[in-house]
Structures are given as C-alpha cells and as structure tokens.
C-alpha cells in the first residue's frame, strides 16, 4: 500500500525526492497530470475537478493516503474535498500546513487563538491561481496575527521549468522578485508557494538577499509526512517499489523527470 503524491506536472518531484530521502522504505506512486498542466492559470472549478479525479484514481490504486504536492490543487481543492467527505480509511493532505507550521513555529494541533509571531513581513511567491485563492493567507490567519503577506503571482515560471528552459525560468524569477520588492522592499521571509520553485531556490535566495529567510516546501512536507505516518502507521504497507504515472506523453515526461532528478525516471501512461 503506497502513498500517493499528486501534482499537475513535474514540480511534485521535488517533494517525492525529499520524501524518499526522509523515508527511503516508503513505497510511493507519483501521479502527474501533465496533460492538463499548468494548473496555475486554470479556473478554480477546473482545478477542483481535475484534482478530485486524480485523487480518487490514486485511492482506487490502493494509495489510501494522497499528498497534494501542488499548491494550486491544495488551494482550490483540499478544503472542499475534506468538507465533501473523504471515504473511510482514506486521507488527503496538502502542502500549506507544513509551511505555516514552520513560519509560525506552531504545530497544527495547537488550537489556541492566533498570536503574534516573530516574522512580520512575508513575501509569497506562487502561481496566479494560488495567489488569487488567498488560501495561504486564510490558513495563516488561523494561527498568527500581525503578519503582512505580500503575494506575487509568478506567471510563466512553471511553464518554463516544465519545458526545461531554466534560463528563462531564472530570468522570470528575478523579474518577479523585483516586482515583489517594489511592493514590499524589505521582506523578512519568503515563501516559495509552488513545488516547482525549489528548483529555483538558489535564484530566489540570490535575488532576495541572504538576510531573507526562504521557506521551501519539499523538506518541510517530507518531515511533516514522516510525523503523520508515525502517528498513523496504518496508512502505509509493505513494499519499496515506486511507480510514476502521467496523463501526458510518458516518454517526454520521463525525459523531463530524468533531467530534474538526475537519475533515470520512467513514467507509465495513466489508464
């Protein structure tokens, strides 16, 4: 019984890599909806429908626990799926919680009233859909007060990464950081609110400056998942074989994934 990791494209591979490093014996099924990527420019209902279909597909394949390794999917679909009711024995987790835990230094189970935290000025870099949803700000407000969040929609970055054009991706990141700086000249922390963005983390850090703490999701999600599985050991089973599934061109996606992870990755076509 593997854990499913879902993303609209290849960005979730940063989470898979971190999870595998943290939990090397955990079997994983990675599902990339590459045929419909990127999600960041899609309508909310469209993202919900695509995400819901993928998660149900992973549940049917025996992945009782699915991680939405996609901020846009987490923003548009997670709460709605949970409110609609998750089947008995199934779970779906998002990627905002580990970020907010790290930013506020509060565990998610801490249900005390919101309080002031050390970081007062936060830059959020995310896809247009994630920024428009304000999901990060909404979840943060449950835990912290007095935090000024300035969001920057990073159009084009995911497309460039998916196409393997890292030169264009780097130029776009620098442009988006400049635009953010015009709105918030001195952020204390920056949140990379897309699982593609860890591939550009050094570029973000360089453009922001060494005095800005950059929160990237992959390692935070891996640590959070390890903690969750320790508390819910029944959500995993035996085995160590990984599978990679895509709705896109399996050969092309495999080549891109191999470039990202720098080891041979072979995707199979979704049925």
CA distances from 142 to 71, 119, 258 (A): 18, 15, 39
Rounding to the nearest 10 degrees, give the CA dihedral for residues 139, 19, 158, 191.
40
Element (H, E) at 19: helix 13-22
Buried b (16+ CB within 10 A) or exposed e, 135-145: bbeebbeebbe
Active site residue 63: no
- The interaxial angle of helices 217-231 and 13-22, nearest 10 deg, is 50
Question: How many CB atoms within 10 Å of residue 229?
Answer: 16
* Size of the chain, expressed as the number of residues it contains: 271
- Helix, strand, or coil (residue 267): coil
Please tell me which residue in 70, 189, 253, 257 is annotated as part of the active site.
Answer: 70
HSE-up of residue 264 (Cα within 13 Å, Cβ side): 1
Please tell me which residue in 189, 190, 191, 194 is annotated as part of the active site.
Answer: 194
Active site residue 154: no
* Cα–Cα distance, 202 to 209 (Å, whole number): 10
The answer to whether residues 265 and 256 touch, using CB atoms and an 8 Å cutoff, is no
The answer to whether residues 152 and 125 touch, using CB atoms and an 8 Å cutoff, is yes
Tell me the catalytic residues: 70, 194
């Amino acid at each position: 019984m593997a854990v499913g990791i879902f993303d609209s494209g290849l960005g979730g591979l940063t989470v898979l890599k971190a999870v595998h490093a943290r939990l090397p014996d955990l079997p994983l099924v990675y599902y990339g909806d590459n045929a419909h990527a990127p999600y960041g420019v899609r309508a909310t209902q469209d993202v919900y429908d695509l995400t819901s279909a993928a998660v149900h597909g992973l549940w049917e394949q025996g992945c009782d626990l699915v991680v939405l390794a996609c901020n846009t999917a987490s923003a548009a679909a997670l709460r709605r799926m949970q409110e609609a009711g998750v089947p008995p024995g199934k779970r779906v987790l998002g990627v905002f919680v580990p970020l907010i835990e790290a930013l506020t230094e509060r565990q998610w189970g801490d249900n005390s009233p919101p309080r002031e935290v050390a970081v007062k000025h936060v830059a959020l870099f995310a896809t247009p859909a994630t920024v428009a949803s304000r999901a990060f700000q909404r979840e943060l407000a449950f835990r912290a007060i007095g935090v000024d969040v300035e969001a920057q929609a990073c159009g084009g970055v995911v497309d460039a990464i998916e196409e393997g054009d890292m030169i264009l991706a780097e130029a776009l990141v620098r442009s988006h950081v400049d635009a953010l700086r015009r709105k918030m000249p001195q952020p204390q922390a920056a949140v990379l609110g897309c699982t593609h963005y860890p591939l550009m983390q050094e570029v973000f850090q360089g453009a922001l400056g060494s005095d800005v703490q950059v929160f990237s999701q992959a390692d935070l999600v891996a640590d959070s998942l390890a903690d969750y599985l320790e508390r819910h050991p029944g959500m995993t089973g035996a085995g160590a074989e990984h599978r990679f599934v895509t709705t896109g061109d399996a050969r092309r996606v495999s080549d891109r994934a191999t470039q990202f992870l720098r080891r041979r990755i072979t995707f199979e076509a979704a049925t």
